Amino acid sequence: MRAPTILAYGPDRSQVAELRLPAGCGPAPLVLLLHGSYWQVEHDRRYLGMVAEDLVARGYAVADIRYRRIGEGGGWPTTLNDVAAATDALPGLVEQAAPGRVDLDRIVYMGHLAGGDLALWASRRHRLGSSVPGATSTRPVVTGVVALAPTCHLATVYGVGDGTVAEPHDRGAGEFLDRYAAADLATLGQVEIPTVIVHGDRDEVLPVAMSRRYAAASAAELIVAPATGLFDLVDPRAGVWPTIVDALGRAGTRRGAGGLSRLAVFLGARDGSDPAHAETAYAVGRGLADRGIELVYGGGGSGLMGRVSQGVIDGGGRVYGVIPRFMVQREWGRIGLELGVETTVVNTMHERKALMAERAQAFLALPGGLGTLEELFEVWTWQTLALHGKPVGLLNTGGFWDPLVALLRGFADVGFVEHDTIDQMVVGDQLDDVLERLASVAAVLRTR
């Protein structure tokens, strides 16, 4: 492998990145890689060397970033300012160094430990208060984020392990509380681009509960990797590595409708009497695949559920199914990676709906029966109670949902539902239009 090219994004000797390019001459997605290991000067980017080499072999361009750490002038605010400067400058510097070799529409921030925290933080800088180091009024040019065991709540990790986590801001959590608050990612609302957190269930330093809390607050995707420790996440020989590579591929996919990357679809386990419904379900699946949007659904293999998932599979897209164990026992599911479906088997219907709701960024109902209505009304009710900020819609092909919409407006007319609540439901008969409007409503809900 060729020696990396050193790119300087600032005047200090630590303000550099090592650029590695894949073989070939076509534009490659660019990974801005951020190391962790406690913000301390004795730890640097070299431990991610195998990660960078593996990704380059898979066709990625990788810029492995060095920034000033505690012991060489880093900490608050220098480290944050360095990362902001690096992520802003490096796409242009890479293009200057290797014209046409990177796809500037496919930039992913990827980091481990504190680097994972910095990757998440860098992607949300437009949401920071104006007085916070690194804040910007312009949305960072980034397609997605992959954070590996990120220290996404600094006060929580103060003093864990050997104590070196304790000083990202030069003091403990009891001092300079404004600094810890300014770096608290959970206060920045829901993510607006594909964001995947991978955390091992055998992490001996950072509690996986921290990632769970952040994922719940931000609507980021969380993958808890079984039998995986902290440094397995940066070992390409480890069993979790294919999962991380897959997450990187999804995070680096050009965004579909307004930034949606995971859509839960509720629909029937039967075809119904109108052949148009089966045709629509399959077309929706192909449409999601074409837009790089993951299908989240109930894991069934029959009826419209089978057709929408088959459409995604035939289009080369990603399918994630959640199915209760009793349905598996009755052979109702479409299960198996060999069929193109990643499936989670749960014990109850309640767990099924909760997991689908957690993974999805928005919800869309196609024709179906009682189960479809139950799923639809539950997530819609959760939205009205501010338990999540994700939009809900109806694909109204052939006017299927017209009677339901009329019934709901009647409820509003007699004072049992707010008219604004009904109006917030996205209803349309064209997939493109519905997806764009779901994304628009999602942006409004994120500001509340």
Closest CA to 245 of 198, 315, 294, 290: 198
Q: How crowded is the C-beta side of 284, counted as CA atoms within 13 Å?
A: 36
Centroid of chain to Cα 48: 22
**pLDDT higher than threshold 50 for residue 166:** no
Residue 402, pLDDT score: 95
Phi, psi of 109 (to 5 degrees): -90, 130
Q: Which of 38-47, 242-251, 362-371 is predicted with the least confidence, judged by mean pLDDT?
A: 38-47
pTM of the shown model = 0.60
- For residues 325 and 318, what is the distance between their CA atoms, to the nearest angstrom? 22
DSSP state of 45: G
Classify residue 2 as exposed, middle or buried by CB count within 10 Å of its CB (0-12, 13-18, 19+).
exposed
DSSP state of 182: H
In this structure, what token pair is assigned to residue 48?
């991610």
Domains (range + CATH), the chain: 5-251 (3.40.50.1820), 262-446 (3.40.50.450)
- Tell me, what amino acid is at 71? G
244 Ramachandran zone, left/alpha/beta (phi>0; psi -120 to 50): alpha
Residue 335, pLDDT score: 57
Compute, in degrees rounded to 10, the torsion defined by CA atoms 358, 296, 256, 126: 10
**pLDDT higher than threshold 70 for residue 134:** yes
Residue with token string 């289009």: 315
The per-residue pLDDT of the chain, averaged, comes to 86
Centroid of chain to Cα 222: 8
Residue with token string 């607050």: 217
Residue 87, pLDDT score: 97
